[in-house]
Amino acid sequence: MLNSVKPTQGVISAEPEPIKLDWASTALLIIDMQRDFMEPGGFGETLGNDVSQLARAVKPIGALLKAARDTGMLVIHTREGHLPDLSDAPPAKVERGAPSLRIGDPGPMGRILIRGEAGHDIIPELYPLDSEVVIDKPGKGAFYATELTDVLEKYGIENLLVCGVTTEVCVNTTVREANDRGYRCVVISDGCASYFPEFHEMGLKMIKAQGGIFGWVTDSAAVLEALKISTPA
Ligand code: C5J
């Protein structure tokens, strides 16, 4: 007979070393898997990026999301974006560079990086359930000007399984913010992606270097293994 008792703890094979986590105090934090970053016509492409580079993270995140839902782990999604009147968008962010469209301009998926527009929403494959937490953030880090700290405290979370896009921008900024606040961050290498593969690699190296100066790095299969869930084909 299969043992149906859910494990309360697991050891994740990770770098620089394995890490043991209590699942009840662990959340899956999915950073900015929004159409604006993932699809043609959104913010990412207006900056000149090849958005197809990010697609590789979708399947591993989907497997983690399913595992978190199956095991009752807290799931938190974030979305980067701004209020329609741009009152939370610093001019220094809106005015920089020479994008084809700026934040707030009308694009094929609605106004670029504006809350409530189609482009600002999360891709259908990873769409949040009503029961999951969605944090809207104006910055790169998920703690800046958001209710994330309150949410983590409310649910007694001490450990974060972090994935999403892009590795070196919003994922790294959030991990650094979380690390300074005392959270253990385990970053999922195949669940993160960058428009620049070399930045992805270096972004992960920066996290796990120096004995894990910002956190741990693992992959989705290792998390599923620690949760005792078989890896999807
Ligand atoms: C960027 C993000 N790259 N979510 N945002 O501007 O990483």
CA of 17 from ligand 1 middle (Å) equals: 28
> Hey, which residues are catalytic here?
32, 137, 170
CA distances from 112 to 127, 129, 162, 170, 189 (A): 19, 24, 25, 17, 28
Total domains in the chain come to: 1
Residue 11 included in any domain: no
Residue 25 included in any domain: no
Taking each helix axis as running N to C, give the angle between helix 197-212 and helix 172-180, from 0 to 180 degrees, rounded to the nearest 10.
Answer: 20
Residue 206 included in any domain: yes
Q: How do residues 118-132 score in pLDDT, each as one tens digit?
A: 999 999 999 999 999
CATH of the domain at 82: 3.40.50.850
Q: Which domain holds residue 216?
A: 35-230
Q: How do residues 67-91 score in pLDDT, each as one tens digit?
A: 999 999 999 999 999 999 999 999 9
What pTM value is reported for the model? 0.96
Residue 18 included in any domain: no
Residue 16 included in any domain: no
Q: Which residue type is seen at 23?
A: W
186 strand-pairing partners: 161, 216
Instruction: Indicate which atom in ligand 1 lies nearest the CA of residue 170.
Output: 7
